Structure formats: C-alpha cells, structure tokens
Copies of this chain bind each other. A is one copy, B any other.
Amino acid sequence: MRAADLASTYPTVHPETPAVEAARLLAGQNLPGLIVVDGSGTPKTILPGTQVLRLAVPAYCQEDPALARVIDEGAADVFLRELGDRTVADTLPKQQRELPVVDRAATVLEIAALMARTRTPLVAVVDDDGLLTGAITLDALLDRLVEQ
C-alpha cells in the first residue's frame, strides 16, 4: 500500500485565485485544506483549513480576543470584507515550512508521520516531475489504518 494507491483527485487553487473563491471551495466541499499549485501543476503550498481562517479574521481580532467579542456586525460581512480583493498569493505564509508532499512510493507510515509533523490533515502526492497527481486526506488515511 503506497501513496499512489491511496491518492484521490483533489481540487486545487492557484496563487492568483481570489481568496473568497478559495474560502468558498473549502466550505462548499468540506475540504480539510487547500492545495496551491503553480501554472505547471507543482504544489507550492498546502494550507490546513484552520490557516485559511487566519486569512479572513481581521488582525485586531486575532491579537485581542476581547475585541472580537464586541463586534456587533454580522461575522460573515466582516469575513468577506476582510478577504476583499485579495488573492491566495496574498495570504500565503511568508516563511515556507516543510510541505506535506510525498512521492507516489511513500508508505502509509511515512504519510501519517508527515501529517502529524506538519499538523496538516492533507498530503499532496506528486509524480517524478514534481507535478500533483492526487491527494490523501486524514480521513482517508485513518480509514485505511483503522478499519482493516
């Protein structure tokens, strides 16, 4: 059982995708995160769902929870306005951490260790050229690990 056998097709976004569209994709399909690919199809970043939230919560709310409590306008309005005209590229972390990306021969244990280490419930699978061929979610991996 290798990554190639576990991977499924997974929707992607590009750096130039509007942030609002990326948030809608995440919400609409209940995805565990976003895979950002460049024009050639190489994964550049994998964002856990919780970190996509970070893009849309105003900085003053993140720094001071007491401020978030007193905002009396609709949260959805704040959220969408905060995303505004930004693109996915505007919202990527400045510092590149270890990417949850594996080749097609990765074992289940490698994938599990990588998800745990990067705290990302989503791993991209690439071919020998580094191009995305599919993805493995935490749910899919757990089903495989636990339900045998």
Which of A48-93 touch B at CB < 8 Å? Answer: 48-51, 53-54, 56-58, 61-62, 65, 68-69, 71, 74-76, 78-80
Least CB distance, A75 to chain B, in whole angstroms: 3
Q: Assess whether A76 is in contact with B148, with CB atoms less than 8 Å apart.
A: yes
A142 to B25, CA, bound (A): 10
- A24 and B148 CA atoms in complex are apart in Å by 11
Known contacts: A68-B109, A75-B108. The answer to whether A142 contacts B57 by CB under 8 A is no
Say whether chain A's binding surface is mostly helix, strand, loop, or mixed.
helix
Whole-angstrom distance between the alpha carbons of A105 and B49 in the complex? 24
The size of the chain A interface, using a CB distance under 8 A, is 55
Complex Cα gap A23–B75 (Å): 34
**Whole-angstrom distance from the CB of A53 to the nearest CB of chain B?**
5
Q: With A65-B113, A109-B68 given, is the CB distance from A50 to B145 under 8 Å?
A: no
Question: Contacting chain B: which of A36-44, A114-122, A128-136?
Answer: A114-122
Whether A143 touches B109, Cβ cut-off 8 Å, given contacts A76-B148, A138-B49, is no
The complex places the Cα of A129 from the Cα of B62 at a distance, in Å, of 26
Question: Which residues from chain B contact A27 at a C-beta distance below 8 Å?
Answer: 139, 142-143, 145-147
Instruction: Check A138 against B50 for contact (C-beta < 8 Å).
Output: yes
A110 within 8 A of B: yes
Task: From known contacts A57-B109, A68-B107, A110-B69, infer whether A115 and B62 are also in contact, taking CB-CB under 8 Å.
Answer: no
B146 and A23: CB pair below 8 A?
yes
